[in-house]
Structure 1
Amino acid sequence: MSLSPGSSGSPEQAASETRYFRYTFSFEDGTERTFEVHLDPVTLALVAPISDPLPEWTRLENEQCPNCPLSPKRAPHCPIAARVVPLLQIFGGRESHELCLVTVEGPQRTYSRRTSLQRGLSSLLGIFMVSSGCPVMDKLRPMLDTHLPFASQEETIYRMISSYLVTQYFRQRKGWPTDWRLKDFPARLQEISTVDRAFAKRLRSVGIRDAGLNAIVILNTFGEMTSFTIEEEDWDRLEALFLRAETRDAPVP
């Protein structure tokens, strides 16, 4: 992972040994910020040295998530906090609702959208949170394999459910317990939502209150929306979509 404004070189060259995403934020005042995020091609973990020294607010015990399984002895710093320091430093003085053109270059295609800074940051921050090494957010890391910037609520719901079910398939191949009825899925989302809220609290504790914090709120909202959908068993639309072409194979009563 490389995170730096004004990075040089083509994304293709930079990504020769990694998976990359290049985010460019173009503001109405003429300023521009570009960040390249590089991931290990096999594990999808962030590839970059961590800032040294790290600020005090990144220490694990500082507003540690209530469901965090790590200990300060094993991990002195929160994995997510340690990774997002450069990002928050650069955008700390910006207004969350400031409009900008966000362009995302990836291995296969380029996305572009005129949106608020907090919306663009939400997409970028999501990469950092699930690939940082946080053991709770790590369960979402496979979704980076098909990273979708600016995803809508419907797209996020679809992708999270699909990712969970693919996981169950591979668990079954290993002979491990499976959850095809998604009974444990809401609980997993609640764990993720807990991390989102706790990390936002960590940022508030050191006075980080605008763009970065609002990006966390957006991520948390999507997680809660997905949990609500599953708990209410609101499957009608998806059922109709997937079974439309399968009705001829339905068993005869």
Structure 2
Amino acid sequence: MENNQEVLKYTYTFIFNNGTEKKFEILLDKNTLDLISSNQTEVADWAKRENFQCANDLCNSKFEKYCPIAVNIDNIIKFFSDINSYETVKIYAEVDERTYFKETSVQKGVSSLIGIIMPVSGCPVLSKLKPLVRFHLPFASIEETEFRVISMYLFVQYMIMQRGGTPDWEMKKLKQIYEDILKINRVLSERVANLENKDASINAIVALDNFAQFISSSLEYNDLSDFENIFKEWLE
């Protein structure tokens, strides 16, 4: 790490019912939102790109031999491989300027944690979601996630317009992005399912996939009616 590199740090601390604590620290370059290397020397065989069907047509990552997502969530998968997804856990999530706390299921905590790592790992598809990581909201609901995704995308279109480009106000490209995300989630969940003795991590990825499916469906049918009431002062 360069001395002048600005660092953004996210820390998730899991406190289990037996008193055991486990801390996961994520360091990002604050300017690029790239994940700062943890100096991991060994990469698990399951992370090889040949094991991921989505690599052929979606991945042009700098990672030549490995899926960048798999490489960076391997330590999480290993830790939670013997833990049930429904087990209750206390979680402190330290995010930039504030700390969040939630007593919830392990799978929801792991889902929130993996939701940070996937976009910043180097995957060219998920990297489009980096702005959400910069303003990460731990334990977000489906509705909160949908609002944040759409707001992010329309903000990007405004910046494209300001630069003289052609904005995608109909969000057609966002639909394609989420179709690709769904494909990645499903391939990843299949691989993780083969690694775990129990189901904490696989259910965490399934939860992320459910979020993606919900957003994809809303975009497919142009159904944003759930938000109309809160915007009525703008729409009347």
Name the larger-Rg structure. 1
**What amino acid is the match of 1:186?**
K
**Quick one: which of 71, 75, 78 aligns to 1:86?**
75
Shift of residue 30, structure 1, vs aligned partner: 1.1
TM-score by length of structure 1 reads 0.85
Structure 2 CA distance, aligned partners of 1:133 and 1:179?
25
Note the alpha carbon deviations across 1:111-145, whole angstroms, 9 max, x for none.
11110101000000011101000001011111111
Write the distance in 2 (CA, Å) between the matches of 1:223 and 1:75.
27
Q: How does 1:3-18 map to 2 (within 5 A)?
A: 17-18=6-7
Residue identity over aligned pairs, in percent, reads: 38
Structure 2 SS opposite 1:61 = helix
The answer to whether the 8 Å contact 2:112/2:139 transfers is yes
Task: Mark the CA change 1:237 to 1:55 in structure 2 (over 3 Å): closer, same or farther.
Answer: closer
1:61 pairs with 2:50: yes
Correspondences of 1:196-207 after superposition (within 5 Å): 196-207=185-196
Once residues 126 and 168 of structure 2 are traced to their aligned partners in structure 1, the CA distance between those partners, rounded to angstroms, is: 19
Aligned to 1:131: 120
Q: CA deviation at 1:208?
A: 6.1
d(CA) in 1 for partners of 2:198, 2:40: 22
For 1:43, give the aligned amino acid: T
Deviations 1:201-231 (A, max 9, x none): 1223445651111110000000111111222
1:74 positional shift: 5.8
Q: Deviations over 1:11-53 (max 9, x none)?
A: xxxxx93111110101111111011111111011111235222
| 1:149-196 CA distance string (max 9 Å, x none) | 000011000000011111111111222222112233222211111111
| Corresponding residue for residue 107 of structure 2 | 118
Distance of 1:236 and 1:144 partners within structure 2: 26
CA distance in 2 between partners of 1:64 and 1:70 (Å):
13
Runs of 4+ in 1 over 3 A off after TM superposition: 205-209
Deviation at 1:90, TM superposition (A): 1.6
Provide the secondary structure at the position in 1 that maps to 2:10. Answer: strand
Q: Which moved more, 1:166-175 or 1:141-150?
A: 166-175
Q: Does 1:70 align with 2:60?
A: yes
Say which SS state the counterpart of residue 96 (structure 1) adopts: coil
Deviation at 1:86, TM superposition (A): 1.4
* Secondary structure of the corresponding residue to residue 50 of structure 2: coil
What is the root-mean-square deviation in Å for CA atoms of aligned residues? 2.1
1:151 to 134, 140, 143: 140
* Secondary structure of 1:49's aligned partner: coil
Question: Is this contact kept in 1: 2:185–2:209, CA < 8 A?
Answer: yes
